Each structure stands twice: as C-alpha cells, then as structure tokens.
Structure 1
C-alpha cells in the first residue's frame, strides 16, 4: 500500500471536482484529484463514437450557465484554449401543427417568432425579458452562492423591492403552465419556457417548473446556449490544464473506496487499488450524496437521521441518449429549425404534460418528448462540411434494469419523431450510437440509473433541502469533509457552483481563529438539525 500526503483530496474529476481543485490550487494548496475512470470530465466529455470525423458530446453539450458570471467564467479558461461557439438560433420548439417557436439572441427576433402564435405575445415576451434584465444578474449570484445567499440575496431584494420579491417567491413555486397562462395569449412563448423546464425532471404542472423554465429561457435569451469549440471535452481539458499549471494533478483509475475519518474529522481517502492519500486540510467529494454518505463514509461517523434522510434521496429520471452521424443536414419540414442548436420535438404543452404523467406512472412514453442538439450547426468543426453530428435524448421511468430490446424500441420511437418532423431523416443516418441508462452510468458512475441532474429539481430537494433537509451547503457533519457534486446546492447543470462552494467552505474552515468559529457554527447547526429523541 502506497501513502501520499497533500493538502486536499478531491474525489472525482467531473467539472465540479475540477473547479474545486482549481480554486484550492489558486490558494496555494497541494491538490490531488482521484478519478475512478480512465478520463476526466464526467458528463463533460466528447469522442468519435459513430463515424471517424464525427465528434459527439457523450452527455452534456450546451452550457448557458458556463459563460455567465460565475465560477467557470471566473477561471478565465480561454487562457487554456477554451473558446465558445453559437448556433445561428439558440433554441427551437416544434409544435405538432408544424409551427415553431424560435429563441434567438436578438430579443426582437424571438418576439417576432412567438407572435406567429399570438400577436400580443411579442410585447409580452419583451416585457418578460425586461423583468429578467432588472434582476437576473442578482438572481444568478444568489443561486450560485452557498445557501443562504446573503450578499446576492440582499442585492436581489434591493432590486426587486418588497412587492417584486413576493412575486419572485411566487414564481419559485409556480408551474410553467400557469406562468404561460398568466403572461401569454398563444402557446409558442409558453413552449419555449415549458420545453426549457423539461431539461429538469419537472412536469409543466409541477411546482417550481415555472422558475426553471423562466430561468433557462431568459439565460438563453441573454447569453445563448454556447458549446465549446472542438467538443465538450475542450472544457474539461482547459480545467485539467489550468490545474496542472498550478501544481495540481489528477490520478486516473483510482476509484475511492473509503473516506478515512478519525476524531470526527476527514483524514484522507483510501482507493480500491490500495493507495492511501492523506489530506492535511480537506476532503472534497464530487460524487452523489448517497455514494458519499452510504458508501464512502462509515455510517457510524454520521448522525443516524442523516443516513435515514439520504435513503430517501430522490433521483431525477432515467435517460436514453442517441448520437447520429448524418450525411447531410436534418431535412426539416419547417426550415425555421435548421439554424437552432437545441431543438425540442414531439409535443405541445398538453403533450408535455401527458409525457411527464406517463413517466410518473412508471410507464414508457409511446410518444416521447425529445431534446436534440444539432452540433455541427453550433460548431462546424464537429463533422465534415455539409454533414451533421446530431444527438437527442428522452427520459424513461426509473427502473433497476432495462432490457436491450426496450432501449432499442425507445430509440426507434425517437427516430420516428425525427422522421415525422424531417421526412428522409433515416436515409441520412450513416451510423448511430445508443446510450441506455446503464450505459450512461457505466461511462460516468455519478449518472446513477441514467440520471443527469444529480437528483430531482423538485422544490422539496432544493436550497436547504438539498441533498437532504438541513444541509444546503457543502459542509457535512464530518469536519473537513465537503460535498462538491450536483447533489449539493444549487444542483445540476454545468456551472461549477457546487465545486466552487465546496472549495470556499474548505478555505473558510482552514483559517485559524476564523476557522474555529466557522466550524463551531457548523457543528451547532448540525446538532440542532440532527438531534433526535432516543
């Protein structure tokens, strides 16, 4: 058994783990990242999996939150080769009647598109966007920071004032269907928001979907849905290169087996291969909360109530993802879809509700809602000129096992959705690659059962309920152990906030007198939260 000592051990080289490692290295810490697989990035990776010369993003692809002010933008990754590309249009949602609502970085063009569904909605969309511009920067700051968001929260309240703050609080629990009914006369604008909300696991009729739809729709309106030039892996490569330039390192094929805890404090990590990495200052875990609290930490070191609460942690939905190499652009019946990076297909608003209800009942949707990405449209380097690298995904109910033929059947249904919207689509397919839920988890162990969001986006598992009631921050009941994954606030998405929050918490804990005060406050909070009658 080999033993190595460093200031901090980060478990997992997903983007959150790499953000955390970079921030600690910026502070002069000696950092080692332990990655279970043979490559970094987790869900932020790319490879040629269909035909040579066609580059596919293996999981995530569009990164609206990576380019707005926040943890990733603060790292100045352009210095390490990262560049962003935009499709001509941000997003298009195809209505079953053949019309399409198109989101463009020019608000006037978006307004003109939604006006095709109802003339009054042009002004309504612009008004909604003005509401966003008044508070959006403060809202993003509040979301990205640890909970409670003191600085960003006060700034947001100053901007919104009392009445506006109450309306924003109401938006936080409003279903996106109701939001659309209140703000728009036609369905086009509502579909842009509802389809965006479906990037989470929330239905259009579920509390909180209005906030997610509005947030993603308005971020898309202001910043677009950019992609890294040369594939998602370029974002990961920039993070790894930046870390290496500061003396940090990533060790691959080094799955963590146990977090060593002694005297109530995290002391390091033992790997499945027999390596021990001792941590002088902190252990940060970019792994799902159940993996950390049920598998890596001895349960005797944790409050019994925490262990019980983690057993009730709810995952988001399972996923089937298909990648295609096409010999030409998608032959859309409606040419308005041709310039969109992201495309939503297969359902109007009622169809989205039926799709979500079918999943909630544990059944496979016979008419799947499809989220797709035209990657060569967004970044011409993804495939040869005149061709297209395309992906799409849809959700399945969560099950312990899926037969190969079931996954193949759902992939065929997804292709049927494309064939209906773009006759002749199948003739362009040179090759396809299908990831079922088990394949996604095998590629990235954090995508448990094909869940992409690190846990449900439902309000009951957000803010101080994430990952379980009473945490809401990166701190854990084990001193110097921090949760740095999408299971922590603010949740899923490629923005790096959970990793950044964990790094900031580790740095705050490490101070001398201030660190003792900090930990005393955390200990008191956890005692209050997890105290229980015997």
Structure 2
C-alpha cells in the first residue's frame, strides 16, 4: 500500500514521484521495463567506447525548466556542458547559418544571407528577453496558466499581448518571413519548428521554432556530461533518497476503479497494489484510458474523442561511431552540437508535404547530433559519436526493406555534406519506428512527442477537447505523460502538473476541487450526474 502509485519511470513519472515525496507522501513507482528513464537513456550501442543517447539528446527545455531546476538535478549528478556552437542549418548548396550563444556571432552569420538580418536578429532576441521568463512560466504551468498569464499580460500590456497572440498562431514560414529577409535566420527558426511534426505552413508552428531558437540563444542546447542517462540517474537517486520506491520489470495491466475512483493498479504478475490517495500515469493517453482503465469507466463521448487522438510522426534514428570527426565540407558546422541538413526552406515544405501525403520523403530532412563535439567523454579522443533522425508517416507497420532504403538515403545526405563520411564509420545502430516502440512502449509507432504538436491538440484540447489538465474523469487518476499539456520535451511539466493536481485533490479543499472538475467534465462530455 502507498499514498500514490506512479505508472512508469520515464522522466515525467519520476518528476511526479519526486514532487510527491517532497510533500511527505509514500510513493511507489511501477515500471514495465527492466530500467528507468523511458526516452531519457544512454548506452553503448554502436562500438566499444562510444556512448549514445538512445532517444532524446540535447536539452534546452531541461536546462531552462523551472520544474527540473526546482528539483535541483545538478545536485544529484547532472553536469551540463555546451558545444562551441548551438546549432547549424546546412543548406544543400553548402552555405550554413549558425546559432551561437553569443548573439553577435549569430547575427554575423545570418547577416551574410541578407543585409540587415543581423540587426533584426538582435531585435527578435530583445523581444524574447522581454517575455522569456513569463513565457516559460506559462509553458510549464498547469492549464489554465493563470499566474504566468497575468504576469505576461502585465509585462506586455494589451497591445503587446495582442501582437504576441498573433505571433503564436503564425506558421513558421509566415513568422520568419515577417521577422527576416534572408534564408539563414529563417532556416534556423523553421528547422527548429520541424523538431515537432508540424510543417512550415501549419498554423501555430512558428512559436515552436521561435521558442527553441531563442532558448538556444539565451541558454544554449546543453547536454549532460556522460549522457542523457545522468538526468534519469539524478531523478532516481533523489527519489530513493527520500524513501520513494521503484519496481522494475512488472507492467501495469489495469487501473483498479471502484465507484468512479482510482483505488490502485494490477500488474502482470497478478498482484494488486493499493493507492490511498492517487494513481499517476506516465503513459500515452490512449493506453491509459482505453487499455488500463477501460471504456466502461469513462463517459462515452470521452471514448469517442479518443478515437480522434493524433500521434506525431514516426521516427527513424541512426547512431554511428566514427574513427574521426565528421569530415564536413563546410567547416562552419563542425562546432555545432546539432546540425539541420538536407533541405532549404522550400525543401522543408516538400519534405513535410510528403509526410502529409503518407509518402516516404525521397530527400529526408535530418536532425544530426555531434555528441562528442558537445561532450568529449562520449567517445575516444579524435573520434565522433553521432546520431541523426528523420520522420516518416505514422503507420502501423513498416517493411524492413523500406527502412533500410531510407537509412541509405540518410547516409547519402550526410555523405553529400561530408565527403568520405562512410569510410570513417566503425559502427552503426538503427532504430526503426517498430524498434523504438519495442524498446520503449510509450513511443507508439516511433512517435516521440506523445501526440501531435498541432494546434488542434494543444492546451485545453490536449489530449482531447476539454481535458487540458492532469485530472481525468476517474477521480484520483491523473495523466502525467507527454500526452498531457504542455506536451513533449524533457522538461517535466506534465509530471509536475499531475503531482500538483494530486496534491490539490488530497488537500482539505479536495472535495470542492473535485466537484469543480466533475461539473466541468459533465458539461464537456454530457455525462449524466446520476
């Protein structure tokens, strides 16, 4: 028996568990895999001595997150390090736009693409700095973000808030076209927007590019010394030091519900685990509600809406071990921890259009990471541990020969930009979408974001219309995964929001709190009060 049971030891589940033990709760985490971390893990998978981050890698959201900073993960073994340059976008014609933590160096790079864009970059960064803290407060708070929203309004006043609101709904192409004249600055931001599953033309996509690019300008895109695993290790060590417990290799098969309330869980070994205060689930929303809870405990309209839940795109990721640094033709990109390559602005649109048409892009746009450039401990001196990923349409199954052909396309993109690359490969590891899901069941079909980042599945529409918060139609059951607001990324906000909701429900005013939630859910899902 425990006060709270947390399903899943991904970073959001571990964040939620840590926040609850800080409040004196007895917390039991149950993880299906033999190890913690979910998509925040590292291992040697290409060649001896070469460390790879298995899924997520560079961490601007972790570094800037008030949730992660509030947990003090740097006191538990996380040491951040930066690559010389944050990001480079390499165009097919060989030119590169480079983002550096020094705004002057970034401005100098984008100025080469269009006179005046250097000054415009400074203006864009000044606009960001004016609202950055309030924006982060809004982003990482529960929905609705009342306190952060009020702070943002107070900072900008009405006219400024309206202009910001307009900026937040623009596509990446429209937003960057309004801010800059040349392709360099536009590609830095638009390429960042394509870290999601959005196209350059999709409404609301510009804000993602603006956010990631400006976080890179303000904070960089750092990595933990020794790999992504250090983040997970820190969260586990912190939790266990405060009495939290984690059980591995035992999948939760059912959330136990009685009289509309979550009472605990049943695991694959047939054991029932009682939770006296809350069950928090760091699993995708469809898996939680349809598989673990079951439709009979949910409003019919809720179940209908889940049928329209949309995943983000599938992912193919390749890790390589090289016996030398990447032999870039353009040496400007050699110092960038992350490199965008394979497309100019129109190329990004063509790539996205192929995905939208359920076609395999013939010219993949790739995100490439130079791990050793950012953290020399990742591979022997004078070598490189690198990775790259690209997206495919979200499908139930991919034939191995299609994946193999696409990996060949990916390697050709690198070879074109770094002649001789293939001759320096001493080890390679491929994750197909199916491999990703097999390694981490939460990465359904290779989807990394816990659901699309499209505007129709964000804020109060995430994961379905009207939910928006960690609270669910089942009392004392809380959604703590990236399927909840504010979505994907290693920032811990969904886990933190779930923990705060559980604490509010268990408080002296918990009955009133739940009453408000129930009234809202009945109104949204037309659920009978009988």
CA distance in 2, matches of 1:194, 1:182: 13
* Match in the other structure for 1:406: 402
Cα offsets for 1:301-325 (capped at 9, x unmatched): 1111111111110000000000000
Aligned to 2:170: 174
Would you say 1:528 and 2:523 are equivalent positions? yes
How far the C-alpha of 1:299 sits from its partner, in A, is: 1.3
Quote the Cα distance in structure 1 between the aligned partners of 2:211 and 2:352.
20
What CA RMSD, in Å, does the superposition of the two structures yield over aligned residues? Answer: 1.0
Equivalenced residue count is 529
TM-fit CA distance, 1:152: 0.2
Structure 2 match to 1:203: 199
Greater shift, 168-177 or 327-336, is seen at: 168-177
Choose from 202, 213, 219 the match for 1:217.
Answer: 213
Matches within 5 A, 1:46-445: 46-445=42-441
SS at match of 2:169: coil
Runs (5+) with no aligned partner, structure 1: none
Contact 2:142 2:485 in 1 (8 A): yes
Q: Which residue of 2 aligns with 1:446?
A: 442
Q: Is the 8 A contact 2:354 2:360 kept in 1?
A: yes
Provide the secondary structure at the position in 1 that maps to 2:134. helix
Q: What's 1:482 paired with?
A: 478
The one of 518, 530, 533 equivalent to 2:513 is 518
Q: Equivalents in 2 of 1:311, 1:27: separation in Å?
A: 37
Superposition deviation, residue 532 in structure 1:
6.2
Measure, in 1, the Cα distance between the counterparts of 2:416 and 2:337: 19
Deviations 1:339-381 (A, max 9, x none): 0000000000000000000010000001000001000000000
Structure 1 length normalisation: TM-score?
Answer: 0.98
- The answer as to 2:25 corresponding to 1:38 is no
Q: Distance in 2 between matches of 1:15 and 1:29?
A: 19
SS at match of 1:338: helix
Measure the CA separation in 1 of the matches of 2:410 and 2:156: 43
- Partners of 1:519 and 1:23 lie apart in 2 by 20
| Post-superposition offset of 1:69 | 4.2
Aligned-residue offset at 1:298: 2.5
8 Å Cα contact 2:65-2:140 kept in structure 1: no
SS of residue matched to 2:389: strand
1:460 Cα shift? 0.4
Structure 1 residue 83: deviation in Å? Answer: 0.7
8 Å CA contact retained: 2:482, 2:494: yes
Distance 1:280 1:70, change over 3 A: same
Instruction: In structure 2, list runs of 5 or more residues that go unmatched.
Output: none
TM-superposition CA deviations, 1:158-187 (whole Å, max 9, x none)? 111111111111112101111121111100
CA distance, structure 2, for counterparts of residue 332 and residue 467 of structure 1:
42
* Greater mean deviation of Cα atoms: 75-84 or 20-29: 75-84
Match of 2:456 in 1: 460
Contact 2:299/2:527, CA 8 A, preserved across alignment: no
Aligned to 2:488: 492
- Residue-by-residue CA offset, 1:211-250 (whole Å, 9 max, x unaligned): 1110111011101111111000111000000000000011
SS state at 1:433 partner: strand
Question: Runs (4+) of structure 1 moved beyond 3 Å?
Answer: none
Secondary structure, in 3 states, of the residue corresponding to 2:523?
helix
Give, in whole Å, the separation in 2 of the partners of 1:249 and 1:343: 39
Distance 1:139 1:240 in 2: 29
What's the CA shift string for 1:97-128, capped at 9, x where partnerless? 21100000001100000011012100000000
- Partner-residue secondary structure (3-state), 1:342: strand
How far is the alpha carbon of 1:77 from its aligned partner?
Answer: 1.1
Cα distance in 2 between the residues matched to 1:399 and 1:214? 29
Distance 2:272 2:221 in 1: 41
